[in-house]
Amino acid sequence: MTARVALLVALLATQSAVAKDMNGKFGLGISQTFGGVSGFGFQYYFTRSLALDVDVGVSFASTPDGQSSTAFVGGLGIFYALVQHRTANLLIGLRGDFGVRSAPSDAPETTLADAVNRSTTPEETAFSGSVFQFNLEIPLVIEFFFSDSVSFHVAAGALLVFVPEQGAFLDAKGVAFESSSFILALGSGGFLGSAGVTFWF
């Protein structure tokens, strides 16, 4: 009996020594979600197995005729480490991806007479103002640690895409939008479609 207890204690001690303790760790890196957010990634483990994930990115574009567009994208999620080893972790999470884009209208100016006369109504495909898009994903993440300070990760999983009337602008990996207004995709992401690198403090 004493030998069995000693063996059990030894096994538990070995597992504790092998598993990487991420409690209190803060990570800064480059990431891309398969819901369409690319930019800087921030992670913080507030327990040994639970982590908060924040991703942000911004882009600016202009055309030769002076028109400009600004887009801000972000992601917010929470992750749980299903399996933790010394050099690798397996995590599952829930993350919301969102984007806001301001863009000028390509439609010609409309007068009151044009509004009455349907033959001169601007094209229905032209929109103005801000566009908002939201995606929801359930990622399964494999994270490999090159050292205690640097890790590389890839992800795949389930993705829900809510396409705005103006059209999608979040580049969801492996998803064809066409004229859809809602998409459910399984297995999105992949080896490079959601890859990222994190430096841990």
- pTM over 0.75? The answer is no
**37-55 pLDDT, tens per residue?**
989 999 999 999 999 999 9
- Classify burial at 47, counting beta carbons within 10 Å of its beta carbon; exposed 0-12, middle 13-18, buried 19 or more: exposed
Q: Is the pLDDT of residue 141 over 70?
A: yes
The pair of structure tokens assigned to 6 is 């000693």
Q: List Cα–Cα distances, 86 to 10, 79, 137, 196, in angstroms.
A: 17, 18, 27, 19
Express each pLDDT in 73-96 by its tens digit.
Answer: 999 999 999 999 989 999 999 999
